[in-house]
Amino acid sequence: MGETGLFYSSVIDPMLKGMRKKVTAEVRKGETVIDIACGTGAQVFQLSRKAGQIVGVDLSESMIKFANKKCKKQSILNAEFKLADATNLTVFADREFDVAIMSLALHQFSPELYIPILSEMKRVAKRIVIVDYAVPLPNNFAGYTSKIIEFLAGREHNHCFRSYYKAGGLVAILAQNGLRINRHNFFGGGAFMLVSCSASK
């Protein structure tokens, strides 16, 4: 995402309010949370009213700068944002967080990154909440629009989306990576899936 965060926060974030509420509902009061690939920090800000300490991490300097500025402006004291790669979260200890969140990001990663990313999520948190495209996408307006958006997002992004889709989406990818889905629900006309999962025994 080669932008300052202004486009995402003014165009995309307002459309994701329902999703933010669903993710927030998965976190218990006072729990510690890490939001991986946090973008503009909108999910972190929403969670800050309920969670304990929250950290948002992203690989984009401009996103982290944008989120930190907003955090300061809104005087949110229990949140912070750090530049970090989802494939390498060694600055965080094992099980440092109650919950690790990743929303709308897994489908944009190249498949060879699933193992390092999901391993790091399992390592740093006790529970994992992920939101991403449902596979298969429904044959309705939401499903067709999702496919068009992913097509327009550019060649590389679309290639990753198609690999995610071909792999079977969250259900298959999480099972292959030692994660058991404890709860799931669909929303956004059936185009999105939220899963709450933990490491398989």
Ligand X SMILES: C[S@@+](CC[C@H](N)C(=O)[O-])C[C@H]1O[C@@H](n2cnc3c(N)ncnc32)[C@H](O)[C@@H]1O
Distance between CA atoms of 112 and 116, rounded to whole angstroms? 8
Q: Torsion angle, CA of 16/11/75/35, rounded to 10 degrees?
A: 50
* Interaction pattern, residues 56-95, with ligand X; x per rule: CB under 6 A: --xxx--x---------------------xxx--------
Give the list of residues 6+ apart from residue 91 with CB closer than 8 angstroms, or none.
82, 84
Query: Which ranges of the chain would DSSP assign to H, the alpha helix?
Result: 6-7, 17-25, 42-47, 61-73, 114-124, 141-152, 155-167, 169-176
Q: Rule CB under 6 A: is residue 104 a binding residue for ligand X?
A: yes
Binding track, positions 122-141, relative to ligand X; x by CB under 6 A: --------------------
What DSSP assignment string belongs to 28-39? -TT--EEEET-T
Residue 9 within binding range of ligand X, rule CB under 6 A: no
Q: Are 189 and 140 in contact (CB under 8 A)?
A: yes
- Residue 110 or 200: the one with the smaller Cβ distance to ligand X is 110
Residue 100 touches ligand X, criterion: CB under 6 A? no
Stretch that binds ligand X, among 34-42, 90-98, 144-152, 186-194 (CB under 6 A): 34-42
Tokens (6 digits) for 192: 């999105």
Closest CB to ligand X among residues 24, 108 = 108
Binder of ligand X out of 9, 39, 71, 81 (CB under 6 A): 39
As measured in angstroms, the least distance from the Cβ of 201 to ligand X is 28
Of 34, 100, 105, 195, the one binding ligand X (CB under 6 A) is: 105
